[in-house]
Structure 1
Amino acid sequence: MTRTSADPSPGNTGEVGPATGRFHPLAELLLLALAIRLPLAVWPNIIHPDEIFQYLEPAWRLLGHDGIVTWDWRYGIRGWFLPTLLVGPVAVGDLVVPGGAGAFVVPRLVAALASLSIVASAWFLGARISRAHAIVAAFVAAIWFEFILFAPHTLSEPLATALIVPAALLLTGGPSQRRLVIGGALLALAFVCRFQYAPAIAVLAIGACWRNWRNLIPLVAGGLVVLLLAAIVDVAHGVVPFRWLIANIEQNLLHDRAAEFGLQPAVTYLVSFWMVWSVAVVPLLWAIWRGARHAPLLLAVALVNLVFHSLIGHKEYRFVFLSIVLLIIVAALGSADWIQSLRAKRAWRRWALPLVAGGWALVSVALAGASEEMHDDWMRGVGAARLAAELRADSKLCGLALYDVPFHLLPGQERLAGSSPLYALQPGDPLAKGRLPATVQATKSAFNRILARPTSAADLPAEFSRRSCAAVGNGDACVFVRNGTCDAVAAVAPFVINDVLVRLDY
């Protein structure tokens, strides 16, 4: 961060005066951010199945419960560090609100709280320039729709970003030995959470130390402590330290597992920015250009991360969340310069800050649901959560079968079936031999609830009647019910969901 001759100093007309309220402005902005984020922790949308099946479900299994095991865990490409960190919140949530809901909500509350580090860091990054820059940067971090959308989700991208942004604060602006150690630890922790951010982390570390390479010593020392702790966690779970990292690279680079989920061209993320930000991309680019002089290293980290992920065939918008956050913070710093320009005019002096902050708020609200992609992100998984809550509260449920409904569209085994058996009847299963209607007839006595598409109603046994439906994925799914209890039969044993996933290699 740099201060130019045009930057305001204390006492300038560009400086915002001391707070007259009871709380410090940063505290007020943190409360604003918290007030927006906490309700969304309870809102049951799911941006991506990974937040359930790669993090919450493994944490649930660590507590001794049954859970769905995906191919990622069977092949050992996921590290145990993040699920281990989530064990505490999952356990507390299940203790406070048993039945799966608490184990889902409390970790999201923790993730939302962790996201406040971005708001606080934005304040202090701006404060190096002026109080106006601090207020604008923190306000934008508090209310920008993408920050809010990702805040409560237990995904590696927002959690790693919540570590990298404060690390950037510590490593810029004349870092001390203590800041270097803490910053190195935060970067290493972010690497363990999301190793794909390694190039961005490297750029930040090198950029912070290139004028004094001796600074790398405390930075690396702090990082090694965290990496050692991550290795101990791996050993505690009976795996070779960081073997998951090698396995991940093997599966995705050598065996093209990621390619199975789709390949996109290098310009995909630029197209995504246009789709999500629409015409607002024009003033945002202008603000980023203005803000680059205040935070050139942050801009470099954002661009390197964007370019690196653009070179990877499989792309998802969440992968570049770090770039989104850094670009918006840089834009916020640039937009705060306009306050100085406006305050130079007597008629606008009083309205400069409200005008810039209000502009950010209006754009954020307008873009939050403007694109189809954003609308889907806010609503994805809500219908599945409603059906899961209905099933979990069903005292007569003794066995549940998923009939041609992908498990990854649903919120996990505990929230669906509790302690009742969960079966999967899928068309690609070789044991079904392409005859799902015959399979469900042969196994129907083992379950009294079926979750299926309404178009599959004719395939189901006559004893099952449709009770309720909701949007799940690209169509509806319905709960089909029969009266009576469940009898274990040999025919259904191979269709326990984890056995089916092994056969499907999913």
Structure 2
Amino acid sequence: MTTNADVAPDLAVKVRAFAERCHPLGVLLLLAVAVRLPLAFWPNINHPDEIFQYLEPAWRLLGHDGIVTWEWRDGIRSWFLPTLFAGPVVLGDRLAPGGAGAFIVPRAAVGLASLSIVVSAWFFGARVSRMHAIVAALVAAIWFEIVYFAPHTLSEPLTTALIAPAALLLTGDLSWKRLAVGGALLALAFVWRFQYAPAMAVFALGACWRQWRNAIPLVSGGLLVLALAAMVDVAYGVAPFEWLILNIEQNLLHDRASEFGVAPAMAYLYELLIIWSGATLLLLCALRRGWRHAPLLIVAAVVNIAFHSAIQHKEYRFIFLSVVLLIIAAALGSADWGQMLRARPAWRRWALPIIAGGWVLLSLGLADTTKLMQDNWMRGTGAARLAADLRADPELCGLALYVTSYHLLPGSERLARGEPLYAFHPEDPLATGRLPVLVKKNEQAFNRIIAPPSSASELPADFSQRSCASMGDDGIACIFARSGACDATSATPFEINDVLVRLNY
């Protein structure tokens, strides 16, 4: 007969044997996947670009209609990333038709791509000690800002997933192979987000500073990738890197981005202080020690913040690379404290759990303590609920947006299920001052409207209010519905892409 006393030692032996067989990096990667993949299903949106600059163009590449923003009309975007997203988009649409899968699978793919940050952090730490490797990889796996941005289909997290391993390859013991691969990764990162070029230059110069011949393999690897990017441009009928020249002309010379908001030079430092709050001093102390192990990470992070601080239009996502590099450097510095504890016999076995547990508690504590982070987790979820209601509506045959911005909406297919989409915007030159009249005049083209509840009296009388949801800073929006079909032959100048052209949005 087996007793509890027999089972307990046997279980302990099995646990130890399992732990010995499992490499810590593998366990940390599984942990990273476990905290990232569920967020692919959480329908929050950090910024409209993740839909309208990447997923919506990818959807159009597959032969569907979609919303076309001014960036694509003016040719300031490369088709490289939308082309890559087309694969996950079509896979997701086949797995879960109706728009949801085409949103989830690309997010899951981007989340998995962020695992390169975890691997890079491990090997940065492994240059010092096993404890440094474990702490650095753990922090990269669970730090709330990295986890938050991981599934968002934006250029910043994707580019950071390239720059982190490039930084690893271009520091430490260099070889021609490491230099060539590192140069290729930096070139690809440049194509995806050229605004990170100053930070990338820190690693390129660091690799070549003492031995300028290292520039040969580094540049060679980069040129191969740039040639591939040029071929992608040619395949879409545009001159190689024409989008880059137009982007610089529009955003850096004509400052077009400032139309979407400006902030003072110190805004990023202020935002970091808000998000890290009481942990800021602790992180700075850890960074001071981390300088000994990875100074170029800190230099590149500071250069990136300084460059983006000089640009008037600011968004926190722009310095995501800096956040990642600083957090990895701080994790490396904190592992020094763990080694100090380990040097004391009484604390030897508790050193790693204390440091690792401290990072976990710190990350959990900061993840939802500020209004800024709370808003980040919830932004776009209300629009997603309205979109889900519309996709499940069998009578939907046309949808209009009334005094409601498209920015937080999840793309035309996930919103209107491929049905015609119209917009009545107060700044539209054709509609200024006449919105109530025009929406009533054109109501036969649609049978569903998304509008603020305060606008109910301006809508046609046969539309009644249904479900409502928060649109964040834009207030509440509701679905208004009427019975009956739509007149597919009804010509109206308020199709959403026509409106965006007039608004230059």
Aligned to 1:67: 66
Deviations 1:87-129 (A, max 9, x none): 1111111111111111111000100000000001100110000
After TM superposition, the structure 1 stretch with the greater mean CA deviation from structure 2, 110-119 or 341-350, is 341-350
Q: Distance in 1 between matches of 2:204 and 2:444?
A: 61
Shift of 1:49: 0.3
Alignment check: 8 A CA contact 1:59 1:83 kept: yes
Q: Which residue of 2 aligns with 1:338?
A: 337
Distance 1:364 1:212, change over 3 A: same
Q: 1:387 Cα deviation (Å)? A: 0.5
Separation in 2, partners of 1:185, 1:109: 24
Question: Residues 478, 155 of structure 1: CA spacing in aligned structure 2 closer, same or farther, 3 A cutoff?
Answer: same
For 2:256 and 2:55, the matched residues in 1 are separated by 22
- 1:249-288 map, 5 Å: 249-288=248-287
* CA–CA distance in structure 1, aligned partners of residues 174 and 437 of structure 2: 68
How far apart, in 1, do the equivalents of 2:339 and 2:256 lie?
52
Deviation at 1:353, TM superposition (A): 0.5
Trace 1:42-57 onto structure 2 (pairs within 5 A): 42-57=41-56
Q: What is the distance in 1 between the residues matched to 2:92 and 2:19?
A: 39
Q: Please give the alpha-carbon distance, in whole angstroms, between the structure 2 residues aligned to 1:195 and 1:386.
A: 35
Residues 329/190 of structure 1: CA separation in 2 closer, same or farther (3 Å cut)? same
Q: CA deviation at 1:497?
A: 0.4
Paired AA for residue 218 in structure 1: P
- Measure, in 1, the Cα distance between the counterparts of 2:432 and 2:193: 39
State whether structure 2 residue 488 is matched by structure 1 residue 482: no
Does the CA-based 8 Å contact 1:170-1:179 persist in structure 2? Answer: yes
Counterpart of 1:305 in structure 2 is 304
Give distance in 2, aligned partners of 1:334 and 1:49: 36
Partner amino acid for 2:486? C
| Alignment partners' CA distance in 2, 1:225 and 1:275 | 42
Deviation at 1:419, TM superposition (A): 2.1
Partners in 2 of 1:140 and 1:285 — Cα distance? Answer: 16
1:302-348 CA distance string (max 9 Å, x none): 11111111111111110000000000000000000001111122221
Q: Hey, what's the Cα distance between the residues in 2 that align with 1:188 and 1:124?
A: 22
The alpha carbon displacement at 1:19 in A equals 8.8
Matches of 1:162 and 1:433 in 2, distance apart?
45
**Partner Cα separation in structure 2 for residue 144 and residue 29 of structure 1:** 12
> Helix, strand or coil: the match of 2:239?
coil
**Which residue number in structure 1 is paired with residue 192 of structure 2?**
193
Instruction: Report the counterpart of residue 153 of structure 2 in structure 1.
Output: 154
- Alpha-carbon distance between aligned partners in 1 of 2:187 and 2:17, rounded to the nearest angstrom: 37
Instruction: Read off the aligned partner of 1:439 and give its amino acid letter.
Output: L
Tell me which residue corresponds to 2:349: 350
Report deviation, 1:175: 1.7
Determine if contact 2:250/2:256 at 8 Å carries over to the other structure: yes
Distance 2:139 2:255 in 1: 39
| Equivalent residue, structure 1, for 2:164 | 165
Deviation at 1:254, TM superposition (A): 2.7
Report matched runs for 1:79-228 at 5 Å: 79-228=78-227
Change (3 A) 1:19 1:98: closer
- Tell me the residue number matched to 1:418: 417
Return the alpha-carbon distance in structure 2 between the equivalents of residues 19 and 332 of structure 1: 27
Q: How does 1:391-470 map to 2 (within 5 A)?
A: 391-470=390-469
Matched to 1:476, the amino acid is I
Q: Distance in 2 between matches of 1:93 and 1:50?
A: 19
Distance in structure 1 (CA, Å) of the matches to 2:453 and 2:204: 54
1-structure distance, mates of 2:50, 2:248: 20
Distance in 2 (alpha carbons) for counterparts of 1:451 and 1:85: 32
**286-295 or 244-253, which deviates more:** 244-253
Distance 2:104 2:138 in 1: 26
Please give the residue correspondences for 1:306-325 in structure 2 after superposition, counting only pairs within 5 Å.
306-325=305-324
Q: How far apart in 2 are the matches of 1:231 and 1:42?
A: 34
Q: Is the 8 A contact 2:375 2:472 kept in 1?
A: no
Q: Which residue number in structure 1 is paired with residue 358 of structure 2?
A: 359
Identity %: 70
User: 1:164, 1:186 within 8 Å by CA — same for their partners in 2?
Assistant: yes
Counterpart amino acid of residue 314 in structure 1:
H
Moved over 6 A (4+): none
Q: CA deviation at 1:297?
A: 1.1
Structure 2 gap segments, 5+ residues each: 1-15
> Which shifted more, 92-101 or 26-35?
92-101
Q: Deviation per CA, 1:402-423, whole angstroms, max 9, x where unpaired?
A: 0010011211000011221000
Equivalent-residue separation in structure 2 for 1:31 and 1:265 (angstroms): 40
Q: Does structure 1 retain, via aligned residues, the 8 Å contact 2:171–2:203?
A: no
Q: Deviations over 1:420-475 (max 9, x none)?
A: 10000111111113211000110011110000011110101110001100111321
Contact 1:400 1:417 in 2 (8 A): yes
TM-superposed deviation, 1:18: 11
Alpha-carbon offset, residue 395 of structure 1: 1.1
Query: Which one-letter code corresponds to 1:484 in the other structure?
Result: G
Question: Where does the alignment leave 5 or more consecutive residues of structure 1 unmatched?
Answer: 1-16
Aligned residue for 1:76? 75
1 CA distance for matches of 2:405 and 2:286?
Answer: 43
Partner of 1:21: 20
Q: TM-score, normalised by structure 1?
A: 0.95
Instruction: Please name the residue that 1:504 is paired with.
Output: 503
Partner SS, residue 21 of structure 1? helix
Amino acid at match of 1:195: F
Contact residue 381 and residue 410 of structure 1 kept, 8 A: yes
Amino acid in the other structure paired with 1:304: V
Distance across 1 between alignment mates of 2:353 and 2:439 = 63
Contact 1:19 1:25 in 2 (8 A): no
Q: Indicate if the aligned counterparts of 2:293 and 2:332 stay in contact, CA closer than 8 A.
A: yes
1:20 positional shift: 3.8
Deviation at 1:255, TM superposition (A): 2.1
Equivalent residues of 1:445, 1:489 under 8 A apart: no
1:204 maps to amino acid: F
Write the distance in 1 (CA, Å) between the matches of 2:377 and 2:135. 26
Shift of 1:371: 0.9
Pairwise mapping of residues 361-376 of structure 1 onto structure 2 (< 5 A)? Answer: 361-376=360-375
Contact 1:32 1:142 in 2 (8 A): yes
Give 2:332's aligned amino acid.
L
The aligned residue for residue 13 of structure 1 is: none
User: In the alignment, residue 364 of structure 1 is paired with which amino acid?
Assistant: S
Secondary structure at 2:289 match in 1: helix
Asked if 2 retains the 8 angstrom alpha-carbon contact of 1:448 and 1:486, the reply is yes
Change (3 A) 1:502 1:410: same
Shift of residue 168, structure 1, vs aligned partner: 0.7
- Please give the secondary structure, in 2, of the residue aligned with 1:420: coil
Give distance in 1, aligned partners of 2:349 and 2:256.
57
Whole-angstrom CA distance in 1 between matches of 2:390 and 2:348: 59
User: Residue 476 of structure 2: SS of its match in structure 1?
Assistant: strand
Distance in 1 between residues matched to 2:472 and 2:290, nearest whole Å: 40
Q: CA RMSD in A?
A: 1.2
